[in-house]
Structure 1
Amino acid sequence: MEPKLTRDDWLTVPNIITVIRLLLLVPIAYLLVFDMAPVMTAILLVIFGATDWIDGYIARRFNQVSRVGEVLDPIADRLGVAVIAIFLVVGHHLPDWIAYCIVVTDLALATIYLIFKAKHRPKVSYLGKIRTAVLMAGLPLTVFGRIQELDFIGTIGIGLTALGAILHAVTGATYAWEIYRVSKQNREIES
């Protein structure tokens, strides 16, 4: 019988996978900056996206959910998507507004979180899951479109990434509202 992990444990398989996801940003960014190896870049992006699903599945399935993972996983997701989008914009593979939309939404949400001194981040919504799936599909497809014979896939990728960026802004607004609402309720209870 395996011992149950407490929510304070931080050295778990899902957390290791999340750290690997963060480390993947280094070669992805390098390859995007120098516009090299689009197939390898796209494969790394697929792995990046897949590890988001894998770490969550393992955490829930094997009771390895941890406080560290609850914080680290969304940071890895948001940072990763923002970095990848920025480097795709720098390389002229995505329209500028997509990166702006992603980065400004994340910065605004982080600011709101700090302003309202939120004790807990909002639970991931169904819309948030759809947004993440769309972005995690659109980004690698955009990179596959850098291969001359597959340029039509890039168009699909850009469309999906644009849709994902819009969903990101909408999701961010719903999370910001939830932070405000819960903070207001907490203040009323404390009064």
Structure 2
Amino acid sequence: MNIANRLTFSRILIIPIFLFAFFVQFKYHLLVAAIIFFLSGLTDLFDGYIARTYNQVSELGKLLDPLADKLTMITVFVALAINNLIPTWVLVIVLAREGIILLGAMLVYSNKADIINPSKFGKYATFSLYVTAFAYIIKWKMFQYFSFLAIPLTLISGIDYCIKAYNNLLNG
């Protein structure tokens, strides 16, 4: 397993550590959870950079990276909703997008069609969701308004992915 894939896999392993820090009440637990989530975001940034820069792009990485993204986003936004830190409608939109993309990826993969590469909309949406979630975790009101950018990007990227998946399946 190359370095990029190890970083991606570490993002999946970080999820239960985040959950522990988020839900177990100890002094500064939300700050610790935010730091863990921030580190997860950094690994997301670096795994792709390393894979492209050092020619470590692999089939495993093409599957693991979006899976790690989806698992992270679903976990974090569900945790935020459980603690009433985000409105329910935000959770519904995030879950819908992540679920649709996961189902679409499974459908594309099961039909042996080409894996759909992330679009710029998807990358912007993921980044803005990271910023939004981080702001809600640390209760940083000023940046919670970032959700007004994150949610439309999330919707657009979900629709964009559905169109690409449909075309991919028709042509694959």
Normalising by the smaller structure, the TM-score range is 0.7 to 0.9
How far did residue 106 of structure 1 move?
2.1
Kindly, what percent of the aligned residue pairs are identical?
Answer: 23
Alignment of 1:26-175 (within 5 A): 26-34=16-24, 36=26, 37-115=29-107, 117=111, 119-145=113-139, 153=140, 155-161=141-147, 163-175=149-161
How far did residue 114 of structure 1 move?
4.6
TM-score (norm 2): 0.88
State the distance in 2 between where 1:113 and 1:77 align.
13
Task: Mark the CA change 1:56 to 1:140 in structure 2 (over 3 Å): closer, same or farther.
Answer: same
How far did residue 169 of structure 1 move?
2.2
Larger Rg: 1
Report the count of equivalent residues. 168
State the distance in 1 between where 2:81 and 2:24 align.
13
Amino acid at match of 2:154: H
TM-score (norm 1): 0.80
Which residue number corresponds to residue 18 of structure 1?
A: 8
Compute the RMSD of aligned alpha carbons.
1.9
How far did residue 162 of structure 1 move?
5.1
Ranges in structure 1 where 5+ consecutive residues have no aligned partner: 1-10, 146-152, 187-191
State the distance in 2 between where 1:118 and 1:169 align.
26
